[in-house]
Structure 1
C-alpha cells in the first residue's frame, strides 16, 4: 500500500488512546480520528471528533465524509448494540464482532452455554432468573462463591462472596436493582492471565500476554474495578502452561466460533485462570481490555494497521512479532473510584520525562491544563528490556509528581516479584 489512509477509532478511554496512538505511528496511516476521543489524544497526533460512540448514524456519516479506510471499535457497549452490523449495512469496513457474536460478552449465560457446547473448560456454574432459586442453590458452589451480573457491567459486575450471608445479600441486591438474571459460579483458585486473540473467521493470532490487577487497593483488596495496572510479558508463566492455554482453551474456542458460523472478525479476550486442574476460562470479552491494551500494543513489532487490514479482508494474518522490551503501567484513578469517583481534580500538564509515557483516559480541558473527568484518569507507562527497571521508573515518576484527588496502587507487579 503506497497511499496513506485515514482510520477511525470509536471510544474515548485509555484503551482507545493506545489503539489510536499505535495506528497513528503506522507508515500506512495519514490520520487517526477518534470519536469521541479525549483531551489527551492530541499529544500523540490523534484527532478527537465530537461524535458520541452511541451515535452510529453520525459515525457512519463521518466515515463516509472523511474517506475512512476502516473503523476500529473499542467499547463493548457499541459492539453489543450492533455498531458493526450498522457499519456493514452501510457498506463500510469495520473491525469488531457483530451483535450476535458480541453476546459472548453481553451475556454471561450465553458465553457459558458457548463454552459448554464447544468443550471449553470453565467453572461449575448455573444461571438464575429467580431470586429464591439462586439463594436456595448458592450452597452447592461452596464458599467463597462468585456472583456475576448477566449483562455488561464495565468490569465491575462481579462479587466474590466469602460466606453465605454475604452471598444472599448480594443476590437480593442484584435482583432488587433490576437485574433479570445472574450467574453463580464456583470460585476458581490460581493466577489469572489476560489473553487477547485477533480473530479472522477461523484464523487467529495471539497478542502478547498481560496481567491485569482488578481490585482497587493494594493486596488485591477492595471492590472490582476496570483495572488498576498491568504489565507484559509475564515472567511467572512457563512455556508449558502457555501451550496448555493455547491447546485447551484457544483452539476449542476458535473451533466453536467456526462451528457456530459466527464469521468473527475482531478481538476476543479470554480471561484465564491457571488452576491445579489446568487452565480455565473466567470470561470472554469481545474487544481489547483496559488497561492491558496500553502495555500490549507498545510491545508489537508487527504493524497493527497491517494486522487489522488483513483480518477485515480475510487475508493471511501477519505473524505477531514482539519486541524484547517489557512494558509496565500503573493507573491513576479519581478518589472514590469505582463507587463514587470525584471529578475536576487539576492534573495540569504532566511533565515529560525520558522513557515515560502517559496514556490519557477520562480527562477534559486543554492538553496544557487537564482536569479529571471521573473514574480512571490516565496510566503512567514505561518500556525497558528489564520489567523491574520499567516498574521502578513508573513508581519513581509517580512519587515525584503531585496528583491531588487521585490514588493508585503501589503493588502492581507484586505477583511477578517486582515489588521490594
Structure 2
C-alpha cells in the first residue's frame, strides 16, 4: 500500500509519543497532530492549530488532507463524542464512541459495569448529597478513597486518612449542582497499568507499565496526572499477569460484547494486585500519560498495523515487545499540580545517545521554549536494563538547569529495590 496520512488529536506528551511512533511506520507518509505542541516538529510531526473539541474543523481537515484515519488521544474529546461525529461524517477514527467513553466519564457508570460483568473491584458507593456521603464513611473506615465521579485529568482522587480530610474533600467535590462522588475501600498492593486494544470481542495487550501518581518522592504529596513511568515490570510474575488477563481482561471484553458497546479503541485498566488477587481501580478509555511514552518504544509490532486493522475490522496482528527497558521522568512546573508556574524559559536540551525528549505543555519556539504549566516534558531512557535506563535519565536531568521546575528522583525504584 502507498503511505498514507494520519491525524492524532491532542497536545500532550501522550499524543507526542503516539504521533512519533506512527511517524516511524513505513505505511505512514504524514502525521498531523491537532492542536499538537511546538516540540512535535522535532520528530517530524506537523502541529495543526485546531482545538481538540472543534469537531467540525477537525472533520474538514481530515477530509481535505486525505487522512486515512484519526487517532484520539485525550478523554475529553472521546467523552464529548468525537468518534460519533467522525463516523457520522463517513470518516474512520480510532477510539471508543461516546456511550463507551462513559466508562471513564463516570466512575459510577464504570463500577456498575464492573459489577454486571463480574470484574473484581473495590467495595464502593456513590453519593450526590454531602450529609449522606459523610454518613457513608463509617461503612469504609480510614483510609477511605474519595473520587470525583467525572473527568478530573487523573487528579480527582483523594485518599483520606482522617475525618477532617474526608469531610473537606467531600464538601469540595459536592459544592456544585449535579456533582457526584464515589467512596471506595482503600485497596492495598502494588499498582499496574494494563493497556488493551479492543476490536469488539478481539483484544491485544500492549506492554505493561507502572505509573507514579503522587507529586513527590516516596509517593508523597498530591495526586497528579503522573510523574513518571517504566516498562517492563520485573516484579510482576507471569502467573499474576495471567490472573489479570483471566479475571479482569476477559470478563471486561465479554461485558463489552454483551452490552453491545462495539468497542474499538484502547481500554486502560488500572489494577491493584491485592492479597485477594487483581482488582480494578479504574478504567480509562484511552492510552495513559505518562505510560504511553514508555510502552510505545517497547512495541515491536507496527502501531499503524494495529490501529489500521482495528478501524477496518480486520484480524489484528499479535503484539510483540522488544527486550528493551524504558524509563521516563516528567519535568513539571514548580507548584504543580496545585498552582504551577507558567512562562518560565526551559532548555536547551542537548542530544544524548539513549535519551529522548517527549514534549507536552510547552510554548514559544523550538529555539526559545517556555513552560505553559503542569507537566512540561518527559526525559526518556532506553537501555538493556531498567537500572541502566534509570541511570541515563537521572544523569541527563542532573545536567539541566531548570530552576522553576521539579521532578521525582525515585522513578523505577519499585522495580529495582525489591
Normalised by the shorter chain, which TM-score bucket? over 0.9
Q: Contact (CA 8 Å) 1:200, 1:264: kept in 2 or not?
A: yes
**Distance in 2 between the 1:193 and 1:147 partners?**
20
Q: Is the 8 A contact 1:349 1:367 kept in 2?
A: no
Q: 1:379-408: per-residue Cα shift (whole Å, max 9, x none)?
A: 000111111000000000000111120000
Q: Structure 1: state its 5+ residue gaps.
A: none
Residue 137 of structure 1: SS of its match in structure 2?
helix
Q: Does residue 31 of structure 2 align to residue 26 of structure 1? A: no
Contact 2:6 2:68 in 1 (8 A): yes
134-143 or 76-85, which deviates more: 134-143
For 2:141 and 2:118, locate their aligned partners in 1 and report how far apart those are by CA, in whole Å. 23
Question: By how many angstroms is 1:349 displaced?
Answer: 2.7
Q: Deviations over 1:327-358 (max 9, x none)?
A: 00000000010011111111133111111100
Partner in structure 1 of residue 131 of structure 2: 132
Runs of 4+ in 1 over 6 A off after TM superposition: none
Structure 2: gaps of 5 or more residues: none
Displacement of 1:362 in angstroms is 0.3
Partner of 1:204: 203
- For 1:357, the equivalent position in structure 2 comes to 356
Find out whether 1:337 has 2:336 as its counterpart. Answer: yes
Partner of 1:304: 303
Equivalent position SS for 1:398 = helix
Instruction: State how far apart, in whole Å, the 1-side matches of 2:337 and 2:163 are.
Output: 25
CA distance in 1, matches of 2:101, 2:174: 24
Contact 1:232–1:328 (Cα < 8 Å) also in 2: yes
Please name the residue that 1:270 is paired with. Answer: 269
| Separation in 2, partners of 1:325, 1:295 | 10
**In 2, distance between residues paired with 1:170 and 1:256?**
33
The corresponding residue for 2:231 is: 232
The alignment partner of 2:254 has SS state of helix
Following superposition, the deviation at residue 169 of structure 1 comes to 1.9
Describe the shift of the 1:348–1:415 C-alpha distance in structure 2 as closer, same or farther (beyond 3 A): closer
Q: Report the Cα distance in structure 2 between the residues aligned to 1:404 and 1:6, rounded to whole angstroms.
A: 40
Q: Partners of 1:142 and 1:129 in 2: how far apart? A: 20
Distance 1:58 1:139 in 2: 50
2:59 alignment counterpart: 60
Is 1:378 aligned to residue 367 of structure 2?
no
Q: Deviations over 1:196-253 (max 9, x none)?
A: 0000111000000000000000010000000000000001000110000000000000
Alpha-carbon contact 1:391-1:418 (below 8 Å) kept: no
- Which residue pairs with 2:105 in the alignment? 106
Alpha-carbon RMSD across the aligned residues, in angstroms, is 0.9
Task: Provide, for residues 245-270 of structure 1, a one-character-per-residue CA deviation record: whole Å limited to 9, x for no partner.
Answer: 00000000000000000000000000
- Deviation larger for 347-356 or 242-251: 347-356
Contact 1:307-1:318 at 8 Å conserved across structures:
yes
Quote how far apart the aligned CAs of 1:177 are: 4.5
Q: Contact 1:139/1:164 (CA < 8 Å) preserved in 2?
A: no
- Secondary structure, counterpart of 1:364 in structure 2: strand
CA distance in 1, matches of 2:397, 2:168: 39
CA distance in 1 between counterparts of 2:177 and 2:341 reads: 26
SS in 2 for 1:219: helix
Question: CA–CA distance in 2 between the matches of 1:185 and 1:348?
Answer: 42
| Cα offsets for 1:81-109 (capped at 9, x unmatched) | 00000000000000000000000000000
In 1, Cα distance between the equivalents of 2:164 and 2:364?
46
Asked if the contact 2:386–2:412 (Cα under 8 Å) also holds between the matched residues in 1, the reply is no
User: Where do residues 36-115 of structure 1 align in structure 2 (5 Å cutoff)?
Assistant: 36-115=35-114
Is 2:236 the partner of 1:243? Answer: no
Contact 1:269–1:288, Cα closer than 8 Å, also in 2? yes
**Contact 2:347–2:402 (CA<8 Å) still a contact in 1?**
no
CA distance in 2 between counterparts of 1:171 and 1:300 reads 41
- The 8 Å contact of residues 210 and 292 in structure 1, kept in 2 or not, is answered as yes
Tell me if structure 2 keeps the 8 A contact 1:268–1:285.
yes
Q: Distance in 2 between matches of 1:5 and 1:210?
A: 30
Normalised by the size of structure 2, how large is the TM-score?
0.99
Q: Distance in 1 between matches of 2:333 and 2:146?
A: 26
Q: Kindly tell me the number of residue pairs found equivalent between the two proteins.
A: 418
**Distance across 1 between alignment mates of 2:368 and 2:318:** 41
**By how many angstroms is 1:418 displaced?**
5.4
Question: Equivalent residue for 1:321?
Answer: 320
Determine if contact 1:197/1:269 at 8 Å carries over to the other structure: yes
Q: Would you say 1:254 and 2:253 are equivalent positions?
A: yes
**Distance in 1, Cα, partners of 2:416 & 2:383:** 16
